[in-house]
């Protein structure tokens, strides 16, 4: 299967504009960019995709080995960039995807020319001299939440999975269930996301970098944003007056504007 | 109950109770009508809260405060919805619940746990709706939390059962995979990995099991027996599965051991016959059919002597395009009788000639709409048509033919084809 189908790659916007690649984080899929993409499309070529295991990617391409490390996700990102033959694109990574972007940019410097990190965190678990905000036990608790919500979504999804052409409204349900993933796959992504430590990788960043954080974010608090900013010399930090971990949804206009201003400044 | 239709407004209490009914029914009805909207909210059988879009709690009902063990002024304007959740629930909220709510305007029945002031956890099912203004702009989020303690206990039982079932299935699949790989290794031990290079001879083989889950009972080999002679055999044991495999192994190694010492091919089969009749005595007779042969270089070709024990006749294709059976009539099955006779035959393979040995899985395949036997004559004709490709061409053609049989191939099939390469064109002129 080709990469564009495997990763459900969607390309919109100005074909001759500079390219921005929007990469989703743990939890949902490229739908998360639904409010941001239209604001970038007049000026940029906008690439969205789902990591294998998320959204409408090809689940048969998923393996616990590859996607049990951030490198596996970075390979997806690089392979998507290569399949589109991108050069010097701005890679916009939300949450854990910001760290995936760091790895991808190191692996394919000719394809990724800049990084925009949306609510990034290089390390979620507290450690000596570092506060990420969580403990390993908290992550296990998240896995339980994934599991206990699986019963609900599996019931909702069953008719869709069984195929029911005479009930087209089920297609809409499927779309609404975009945050629902196979819990085994979600558990691997959750562990990979929340147990990884990318602090050393920040030192390898050699491209212009934008950091966008929210004023109130329980997953990536402001001290983590400040840590990333300090670790990447020359990076720019923008703090949005927004709440939550997904400013693409809670403050789409400001998020799009921050990305656009950063991408425009490079051209 | 029809009286409810008279007026749902709580204010409509006045003389309503003085109607037609009597006694305690009326008293209960009056109490129902006096239920104020305020009390409906505060004492609802579920937790209610309204939050600003940033999550700050603006309004909360008494039921939820009771569950939380908190005073209203600790909560309103001071806490966010996520502050009420366990840390894992907070992560789930931020990565799943909140994005879904933003995209859809509502989410239903999400399992979360709220934390009471004393640290106790209470499972709830959360449902949220975004209230929008006239212009569609989101104003606030209304959330109900229903007590899910019983349901969660029940779900945990289901989850445990599901995990146990998944584990059992994984175990079964592992066992099956292990068995499959053991079978594959065993099957491979019954056949040579690669055939040796015999100077001046081309050889090709194919082996097809009718079912990958069962060990097949066909075997073949080609090996040196001293001097410039080479021996080969191909056979088919009775039955399938482990017993057949054990018989196959015995047959293969007996023939290999006997070959260098046997005066002629029939003598090698006689040794195998003795081994089988000695080994399988009493009520469990086991037997096989086999062709055994010896090759000796002879000018630009090979002198071939074979003996057959109950095996279908080999096919010889000639450089001129003909094909004939190398008949070995009357040979007994190997392993049935102590002094069974085996029939010998002799031929010569010159340049462009080939000798094809096969098992009856090929000739007894069911073909066509009537599911007729493919048959030996059809095989001879097919071999004649494909003779000019040498052993490789003939076996490749047969493999394609077998592929086309599909489900018609009901038995294992082994092919061993030995041939002398055709003289290069123009040679000797």
Specify if B173 maps to a domain: no
Kindly state whether residues B202 and B333 are assigned to the same domain.
Answer: yes
- What tokens appear for B318 in the block? 């000639």
Whether residue A33 lies within 8 A of chain B, CB to CB, comes out as no
Same domain membership, residue B352 and residue B224: yes
Chain A residue numbers with beta carbons less than 8 Å from the beta carbon of B87 are: 134-135, 138, 141-142
Give the chain B residue whose CA is nearest to the CA of A124: B91
Q: Which of A238-247, B273-282, B302-311 has the least mean pLDDT? A: B273-282
In a domain, B181, yes or no: no
Better pLDDT: B413 or A266? B413
Average pLDDT over residues B27-53: 87
Report how far residue A79's alpha carbon sits from residue A85's, in angstroms, rounded to the nearest whole number: 9
Is residue B6 assigned to a domain? no
Looking at the partner chain, which of A28, A145, A178 has a beta carbon nearest the beta carbon of B88? A145
Q: Note the pLDDT of residue A177.
A: 55
Tell me which of B113, B147, B181 is where a domain ends. B147
List residues in chain B touching A: CB distance below 8 A.
53-55, 80, 82, 86-92, 94-96, 98-100, 102-104, 109-112, 152, 155-156, 158-159
Residue tagged 């998944």 (tokens): B166
Q: Which helix (H) or strand (E) holds B88?
A: helix B87-92
Please report the pLDDT score of residue B409 as a whole number: 82
Nearest CB to A148; choose among B87, B100, B155: B155
The neighbouring-strand residues paired with B419 are B202, B354
- Residue B422 tokens read as 């055709």
ipTM for the complex shown:
0.82
Q: How confident is the model at residue B3 (pLDDT cuts 50, 70, 90)?
A: very low
Cβ count near A5 (within 10 Å)? 13
Residues B99, A27: C-beta atoms closer than 8 Å: yes
Handedness of CA A111, A116, A122, A125 (dihedral sign): negative
Query: Per the CB < 8 Å rule, is A245 touching B110?
Result: no
**Interface touch B91/A138, C-beta < 8 Å:** yes
Mean pLDDT confidence for B56-68: 96
* Residue B187 located in a structural domain: no
Residue A90 CB burial class (10 angstroms; 0-12, 13-18, ≥19)? buried
| Domain termination site, one of B81, B113, B147 | B147
pLDDT at A98 over 50: yes
Contacts of B110 in chain A (CB under 8 A): 149, 152
Chain B interface includes A156 (CB < 8 A): no
- Based on the structure, what is the number of domains in chain B? 2
> A25 CB near a chain B CB, below 8 Å?
yes
C-alpha distance from residue B5 to each of A4, A117, A151, B9, B23 (Å): 60, 59, 39, 10, 20
Whether B146 has a pLDDT exceeding 70, the answer reads yes
Half-sphere exposure of B368 (CA within 13 A, CB side): 7
Residues B265, B126, single domain; the answer is: no
Q: Which two tokens stand for residue A178?
A: 């975009």
The region of weakest confidence among B3-7, B147-151, B205-209, B411-415 is: B3-7
Q: Choose among B87, B96, B152: nearest Cβ to A179.
A: B96
Residue A70 makes CB contacts below 8 A (sequence gap 6+) with A96, A99, A100, A103, A192, A196, A198
Q: pLDDT-derived band of residue A267, with 50, 70 and 90 as boundaries?
A: low
**Residue contact B94–A219, C-beta within 8 A:** yes
Residue B134 sits in a domain of what CATH number? 3.30.450.20
Give me the pLDDT at residue B1, please: 38
A44 and A11 Cβ atoms separated by less than 8 Å: no
- Is residue B124 one of the residues assigned to a domain? yes
Residue B401 lies in a domain: yes
pLDDT tens by residue, B250-288 = 999 999 999 998 889 999 999 999 999 888 777 777 889
Inter-chain touch B104–A140, beta carbons under 8 Å:
no
User: How far does B246 lie from chain A, in Å, by closest CA?
Assistant: 39
Residue A106, both tokens: 């190191």
Q: Is residue B1 part of a domain?
A: no
Q: Which residues of B106-120 are buried (b: 16+ CB within 10 A; e: fewer)?
A: ebeebbbbbbeeeee
Domain of residue B259, residue span: 192-419
Q: Domains in chain A, please, with CATH?
A: 3-266 (3.40.50.1820)
- Token look-up 């909210």 returns B41
CB contact (8 A) between residue B91 and residue A152? no
- Tens digits of residue pLDDT in A164-207: 445 444 444 444 455 666 778 888 998 899 999 999 999 999 99
Looking up residue B358, the CATH number of its domain turns out to be 3.60.40.10
Instruction: For B377-428, write each residue's pLDDT tens digit.
Output: 999 999 999 988 899 999 999 999 998 888 888 888 999 999 999 877 654 4
Which chain B residue lies closest to A26 (C-alpha atoms)? Answer: B95
Please answer whether residues B419 and B220 qualify as being in contact, where contact means their C-beta atoms are separated by less than 8 angstroms: no
- A254 shares contact with chain B (CB less than 8 Å): no
Residue B175 belongs to a domain: no
Residue A210 bridge partners (DSSP): A116, A236
Average pLDDT of A202-223? 94
Domain end residue (candidates: B86, B113, B147): B147
At B92 the pLDDT is: 87
Is B92's CB within 8 Å of A178's CB?
A: no
- Are residues B132 and B202 both part of a single domain? no
A138 interfaces chain B, CB cutoff of 8 Å: yes
Which positions of A are catalytic? 95, 217, 245
**Are residues B201 and B315 both part of a single domain?**
yes
A28 touches chain B (CB under 8 A): yes
């Amino acid at each position: 299967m080709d990469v564009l189908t495997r990763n459900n790659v969607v390309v919109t916007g100005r074909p001759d504009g500079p390219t921005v690649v929007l990469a989703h984080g743990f939890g949902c899929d490229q739908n998360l960019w639904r409010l941001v993409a239209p604001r970038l499309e007049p000026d940029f070529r906008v690439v969205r995709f789902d990591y294998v295991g998320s959204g409408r990617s090809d689940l048969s391409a998923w393996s616990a080995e590859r996607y049990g490390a951030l490198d596996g996700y970075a390979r997806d990102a690089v392979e998507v960039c290569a399949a589109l033959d991108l050069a010097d694109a701005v890679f916009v990574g939300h949450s854990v995807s910001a760290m995936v972007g760091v790895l991808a940019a190191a692996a394919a410097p000719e394809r990724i020319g800049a990084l925009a990190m949306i609510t990034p965190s290089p390390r979620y678990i507290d450690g000596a001299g570092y506060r990420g905000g969580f403990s390993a036990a908290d992550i296990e608790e998240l896995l339980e939440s994934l599991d206990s919500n699986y019963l609900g979504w599996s019931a909702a999804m069953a008719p869709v999975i069984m195929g029911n052409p005479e009930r087209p409204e089920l297609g809409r349900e499927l779309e609404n269930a975009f945050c629902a993933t196979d819990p085994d796959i979600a558990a691997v992504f959750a562990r990979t996301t929340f147990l990884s430590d990318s602090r050393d990788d920040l030192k390898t960043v050699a491209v212009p970098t934008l950091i966008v954080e929210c004023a109130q974010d329980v997953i990536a608090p402001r001290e983590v944003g400040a840590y990333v900013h300090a670790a990447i010399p020359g990076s720019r930090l923008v703090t949005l007056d927004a709440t939550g971990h997904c400013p693409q949804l809670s403050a789409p206009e400001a998020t799009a504007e921050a990305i656009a201003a950063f991408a425009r400044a490079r051209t | 109950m029809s009286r409810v239709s008279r007026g749902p407004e709580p204010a409509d209490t006045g003389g309503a109770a003085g109607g037609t009914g009597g006694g305690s029914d009326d008293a209960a009805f009056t109490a129902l009508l006096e239920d104020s909207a305020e009390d409906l909210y505060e004492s609802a059988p579920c937790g209610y809260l309204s939050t600003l879009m940033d999550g700050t709690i603006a309004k909360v009902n008494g039921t939820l405060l009771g569950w939380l063990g908190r005073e209203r002024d600790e909560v309103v304007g001071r806490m966010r919805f996520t502050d009420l959740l366990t840390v894992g629930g907070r992560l789930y909220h931020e990565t799943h619940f909140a994005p879904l709510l933003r995209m859809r305007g509502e989410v239903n029945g999400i399992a979360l746990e709220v934390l009471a002031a004393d640290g106790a956890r209470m499972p709830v099912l959360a449902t949220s709706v975004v209230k929008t203004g006239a212009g569609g702009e989101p104003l606030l989020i209304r959330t109900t939390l229903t007590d899910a303690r019983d349901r969660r206990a029940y779900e945990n039982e289901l989850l445990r059962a599901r995990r146990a079932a998944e584990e059992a299935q994984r175990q079964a699949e592992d066992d099956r995979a292990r068995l499959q790989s053991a079978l594959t290794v065993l099957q491979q031990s019954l056949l040579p990995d690669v055939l040796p290079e015999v100077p001046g001879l081309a050889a090709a083989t194919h082996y097809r099991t009718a079912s990958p889950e069962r060990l097949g009972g066909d075997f073949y080999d080609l090996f040196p027996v001293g001097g410039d002679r080479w021996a080969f055999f191909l056979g088919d044991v009775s039955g399938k599965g482990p017993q057949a495999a054990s018989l196959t192994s015995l047959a293969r190694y007996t023939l290999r051991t006997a070959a260098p010492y046997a005066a002629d091919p029939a003598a090698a089969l006689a040794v195998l016959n003795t081994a089988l009749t000695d080994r399988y005595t009493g009520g469990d007779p086991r037997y096989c059919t086999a062709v055994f042969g010896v090759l000796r270089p002879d000018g630009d070709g090979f002198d071939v002597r074979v003996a057959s024990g109950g095996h279908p006749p080999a096919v010889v294709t000639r450089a001129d395009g003909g094909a004939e059976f190398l008949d070995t009539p009357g040979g007994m099955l190997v392993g049935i009788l102590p002094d069974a006779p085996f029939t010998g035959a002799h031929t010569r393979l010159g340049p462009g000639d080939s000798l094809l040995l096969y098992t009856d899985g090929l000739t007894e395949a069911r073909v066509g709409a009537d599911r007729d036997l493919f048959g030996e004559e059809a095989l001879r004709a097919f071999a004649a048509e494909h003779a000019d490709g040498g052993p490789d061409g003939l076996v490749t053609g047969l493999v394609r033919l077998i592929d086309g049989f599909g489900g018609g191939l009901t038995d294992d099939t082994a092919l061993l084809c030995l041939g002398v390469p055709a003289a290069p064109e123009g040679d000797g002129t």
